[in-house]
C-alpha cells in the first residue's frame, strides 16, 4: 500500500531502546505510525538507509534484529562499498516506507546525488512511498538545518534535498547548541523559516504542508521558527499529538 498523497515523516524519534546494549532496539511508535501513513498496517515493507553513518554492517544487522518477529518486512539499501541491490529504483518503489537513519546529513545528501538516489527517492515520494527518518534522516528532506557533519561545533547546512521549503532543527531539547544555533542561522538569513522537534517528536508533511506534529511519549514538542524583519526569531510551540502504543 502507499500514502494517499506524498508524505514525509521527519523526526527526532526512533527505535524503542532496551537495556542490554545500544543495539537492543525494537520498532518505535514512530515506525508503526509511518506504516499507518502508508496505509500498510498489516504487513508494512520498510527499507532502511544508513548512508549517513557509512553503511556499517553492525548497525544494519541491529536493524534487522529489531524488526525480526514483528509485522514489518525490512530490507536495506547499502551504497558502501557498492549498491547491494541491482535495481535501486525498483527496490525503493516496491516499499511502503523508507526510513533514513541519522549521522552526517552532508555526507548523506552528497552520496545520494552521486548515485542518483535522490531522484529515485523523489519519484517514490510522489508515488506514495512514505519518506521518513531521524536526525539527518529528518533534515535531508528540507532545505537545511544545523548539523555536526563538519565537526563538534554545530554549523549551518544549506544543501538538503529541498523538497520541503523550510529549515529543520532536530534534537531541539536534547543538545544545548541546537536551539540557539537554529535561532542564529534563521536570524542571519543562512536558513529559511522552518520547524524543529524535541527528541521523541516528529513532523508530518502532506505534500509540502505541515499537517501535524506527533510524539512517541508525553513531553516532546514541535516548534515553528519564524524570522522577523529585525532579525529576531519567534519560536512557537505547536500542538503535538502523542501516538498510541502499537502491537508489533
> What residue ranges define each of the domains in the chain, with the CATH number in brackets?
7-242 (3.40.50.880)
Q: Does residue 1 carry a pLDDT above 90?
A: no
Please report, for the chain, how many H helices and E strands are present, in that order: 7, 16
SS3 category, 78: coil
Beta strands in 115-229 (DSSP E): 130-134, 142-147, 155-157, 164-169, 194-197, 201-206, 209-215, 222-227
How far lies 46's CA from each of 92, 223, 239, in Å?
Answer: 9, 28, 28
Please tell me which residue, 19 or 29, carries the higher pLDDT value. 29
Respond yes or no: is residue 21 known to be catalytic. Answer: no
- The CA-CA-CA angle for residues 129, 246, 196, to 5°, reads 60
Question: What angle separates helix 117-127 from helix 105-115, to the nearest 10 degrees?
Answer: 90
pLDDT at 22 over 80: no
* Residue 209 burial class via C-beta count within 10 angstroms: exposed 0-12, middle 13-18, buried 19 and up: exposed
Residues 116, 170, 144, 242: is their CA dihedral positive or negative? positive
Strand order of the β-sheet with 194-197 is 155-157, 142-147, 164-169, 194-197, 222-227, 233-238
Left if phi > 0, otherwise alpha if psi is -120 to 50, otherwise beta: which for 108?
A: alpha
Residue 135 known to be catalytic: yes
Copy the grid coordinates of residue 211.
Answer: 499537517
What value, to the nearest 5°, has the Cα angle with vertex 1 and ends 215 and 200?
10
With cell 502523542, the residue in question is 242
Which residue would you say has higher pLDDT here, 1 or 130? 130
Q: Is the pLDDT of residue 21 over 80?
A: no
Residue among 135, 138, 167, 192 flagged as catalytic: 135
Task: Give the pLDDT confidence of 69-103 residue by residue, as tens digits.
Answer: 999 999 999 999 999 999 999 999 999 999 999 99
Give which of 192, 138, 146, 200 is closest to 167, Cα–Cα: 192
- Contacts of 150-155 with CB under 8 Å at 24 or more apart are 150/106, 153/177, 154/178, 154/181
- What pLDDT does residue 247 have? 81
Of all helices (H) and strands (E), which one includes residue 16?
strand 16-17
Mean pLDDT of the chain: 96
The answer to whether 129 and 172 are in contact (CB under 8 A) is: no
Q: Catalytic pick from 91, 171, 183, 192?
A: 171
The residues pairing with 100 across neighbouring beta strands, listed in sequence order, are 49, 133
Q: How confident is the model at residue 45 (pLDDT cuts 50, 70, 90)?
A: very high
* Band of residue 62 on the pLDDT scale cut at 50, 70, 90: very high
Amino acid at each position: 500500500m502507499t500514502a494517499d498523497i506524498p508524505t514525509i515523516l521527519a523526526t527526532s524519534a526512533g527505535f524503542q531502546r532496551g537495556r542490554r546494549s545500544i543495539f537492543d532496539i525494537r520498532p518505535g511508535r514512530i515506525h508503526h505510525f509511518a506504516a499507518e501513513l502508508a496505509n500498510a498496517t498489516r504487513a508494512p515493507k520498510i527499507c532502511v538507509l544508513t548512508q549517513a553513518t557509512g553503511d556499517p554492517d553492525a548497525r544494519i544487522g541491529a536493524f534487522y534484529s529489531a524488526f525480526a518477529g514483528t509485522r514489518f518486512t525490512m530490507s536495506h539499501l547499502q551504497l558502501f562499498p557498492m549498491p547491494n541491490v541491482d535495481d535501486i529504483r525498483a527496490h525503493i518503489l516496491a516499499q511502503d516506507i523508507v526510513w533514513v537513519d541519522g549521522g552526517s546529513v552532508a555526507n548523506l545528501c552528497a552520496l545520494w546525488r552521486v548515485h542518483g538516489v535522490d531522484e529515485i527517492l523523489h519519484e517514490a515520494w510522489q508515488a506514495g512511498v512514505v519518506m521518513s527518518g531521524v536526525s539527518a534522516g529528518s533534515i535531508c528532506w528540507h532545505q537545511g538545518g544545523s548539523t555536526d557533519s563538519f565537526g563538534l561545533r554545530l554549523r549551518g547546512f544549506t544543501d538538503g534535498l529541498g523538497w520541503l521549503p523550510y529549515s529543520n532543527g532536530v534534537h531541539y531539547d536534547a543538545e544545548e547548541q541546537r536551539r540557539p544555533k537554529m535561532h542564529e542561522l534563521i536570524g542571519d538569513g543562512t536558513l529559511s523559516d522552518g520547524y524543529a522537534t524535541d527528541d521523541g517528536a516528529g513532523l508530518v508533511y502532506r505534500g509540502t504542508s505541515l499537517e501535524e506534529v506527533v510524539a512517541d511519549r508525553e513531553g516532546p514538542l514541535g516548534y515553528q521558527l519564524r524570522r522577523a524583519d529585525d532579525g529576531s526569531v519567534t519560536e512557537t510551540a505547536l500542538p503535538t499529538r502523542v501516538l498510541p502504543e502499537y502491537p508489533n
